[in-house]
Homo-oligomer: A and B are copies of this chain.
Amino acid sequence: MTSVEEPARPRGRIRDAARTRAEILDVATREFARAGYDGARVDEIAARTRTTKRMIYYYFGGKQQLFTAVLERAYGVIRDAEQQLDVDHLDPVAAIRRLAELTFDHHEQHPDFIRLVSIENIHEAEHIAASGKLTAIGSPALDVIRRILAAGQESGLFTADVDAVDLHAMISSFCFFRVANRHTFGALFGRDLTDPARREHYRAMLGDMVIAYLTADRAED
């Protein structure tokens, strides 16, 4: 997530609409991710910026719209990262594993995003629905999966009849759960899923799982 760094502040008010707006978004992202929508405090967000609460209402209109703007930017960051995906030079098996690993890495590196998604699901995606920018935008990762799947299925390496959206859900499930539910899972089973010492283990496990699923002889029963 882009962050707004300020150089040593000269005395006197500096007017910079874009910077003020971006700074509010940065702080709001952290606050909403920390405490959830209802737990987040508009006053707290304001206090952590160099501006005042008044500006939040000036630029965003209200708490709801601020959260929507936070989601829009957070999804935008993911989208941009996915656009950098480059696995087309690999064979289908290696390409899928690489894609899964990059998804894994991305989830691990953006726990705040994971929290925002969890929070938005508690609210039944009402802010996404209200956004207009975010409905049914698809994702670049999905296009990549489609291409790899098509290649793998055509060459006979992959079992036919696997859908790209479903495979994306499968990969995301594992990556998301590991980060999102690490606290309850850790408390209940005494295992920290995000322990750096086990990072490679889970990263490999995800790749093995996806490849095994795609290349298995589906037994008829």
List residues of chain A with CB under 8 Å of any chain B CB.
35-39, 75, 115, 117-122, 124-125, 128-129, 134-139, 142, 165-166, 168-170, 172-174, 176-178, 180-191, 193, 201-202, 205, 208-209, 211-213, 215-216, 218-219
- Kindly report how many copies of this chain are found in the complex they form together: 2
Instruction: Please report the C-alpha to C-alpha distance between residue A218 and residue B122 in the assembled complex, in whole angstroms.
Output: 38
CB-based contact A191/B165 at 8 Å: yes
Residues of chain B with a CB closer than 8 A to A193's CB: 169
Which of B117, B118, B172, B190 is the one whose CB lies under 8 Å from A136?
B190
Main secondary structure of the interface of A (DSSP, over half): helix
Question: In the complex, which residue of chain B has the Cβ closest to the Cβ of A35?
Answer: B38
CB-based contact B128/A187 at 8 Å: yes
Instruction: Please report the C-alpha to C-alpha distance between residue A89 and residue B180 in the assembled complex, in whole angstroms.
Output: 35
